[in-house]
Amino acid sequence: MNFAGNELDALLVEPSKVQQRIIIEALQKLGVVQIKAVESGSDALAQMRRAKPAIVVSAMYLPDMSGTDLITAMRDDKRLAAVAFILISSETRPHMLEGVRQSGACAILPKPFTPAQLDRAMRATLDYLNPSDSLQVQGVDLEALRVLIVDDSGNARRFIRRVLSNLGIEHFLEAENGRQAVEVLGGNLVDLVITDYHMPEMGGQELVEHIRSQGWQSSVPILMVTSEQNSSRLAAVEQAGVSAICDKPFEPSTIKTLIEKALAA
């Protein structure tokens, strides 16, 4: 896919001149030609505040901060909170990538990456920035649909909410953990629950088990969006009755498909 017609402007944050050249050439091959490059997080934030880009592509380890610090600073700034973010890093340790996953990144790419991986990441980013269509579920009134988002990360909740808003959903309830979600569900009828796995007080699996075991809304579709990779833990969640499981970061097209299937069922 060529992204030239979408007029995306990108800010590359990469301390290595060699890596800058490699990434810029790869983006240009996809049609992204408006690219500025800086070497540090502070320079990136200053540049963004002068001229907000559509997308930031960043390394994990910068001279003055990490990629996690950078995306956190962006999400804490109202002017930059909605800017798309892609991480490109040789870092593979889950605990080191967790902060980026929880902050609403569009994609995390390995270093080195393949052209296909970059193309897929850019497609996901474009879906986030310029959604092409809304949910299509026969018999479902999107304007009346009520979704409960459960995640202890405020940035993750905002990212999910924006993606769902792009799909045509308008009504949201939020909770920071499973215990709060149970309280919300006690007094509100919802059509869909989207929950994280790891949360304080009550985690995602416990929440799924609670919903499925009580009669008030036991059949509501539940989508888990999580960075959890442990297969036995995810199998236990499936056994508990979750409708579908989606990775963090996720592609908007993937979550759209999963929601359509869950609501249709």
Residues 44 and 41: their CA atoms lie apart, in Å, by 5
The dihedral through the CA atoms of 77, 82, 86, 87 has a sign that is positive
Tell me: do 41 and 152 sit in the same domain.
no
Spell out the residues 6+ positions from residue 155 whose beta carbon is closer than 8 angstroms to its own: 72, 75, 102, 103, 104
CATH label of the domain that carries residue 234: 3.40.50.2300
Say if 254 falls within a structural domain: yes
pLDDT at 1: 55
Tell me: do 208 and 164 sit in the same domain.
yes
Measure CA of the first residue to CA of the last residue in the chain; give whole Å.
33
> Two tokens at 201?
């007080």
pLDDT at 210: 95
Tell me: do 69 and 92 sit in the same domain.
yes
The range of the structural domain enclosing residue 249 comes to 142-264
Q: Which of 106, 129, 152 is the last residue of a domain?
A: 129
How many domains would you assign to the chain? 2
Q: Does residue 178 contact residue 200 with C-beta atoms inside 8 Å?
A: no
What is the block-wise mean pLDDT of the chain (265 residues), using blocks of 10 residues? Answer: 70 98 96 95 98 97 98 96 96 94 95 96 91 74 89 94 91 97 95 95 96 88 91 92 93 90 85
pLDDT at 4: 56
Say if 65 falls within a structural domain: yes
Say if 192 falls within a structural domain: yes
Say if 136 falls within a structural domain: no
| Residue burial 218-244, b: 16+ Cβ < 10 Å; e: rest | eebbbbbbbbbeeeebbeebeebebbb
Tell me: do 68 and 10 sit in the same domain.
yes
Please report how many Cα atoms fall inside a 13 Å half-sphere around the Cα of residue 10, on the Cβ side: 28
Q: Which of 77, 103, 129 is the last residue of a domain?
A: 129
Q: The pTM is what?
A: 0.90
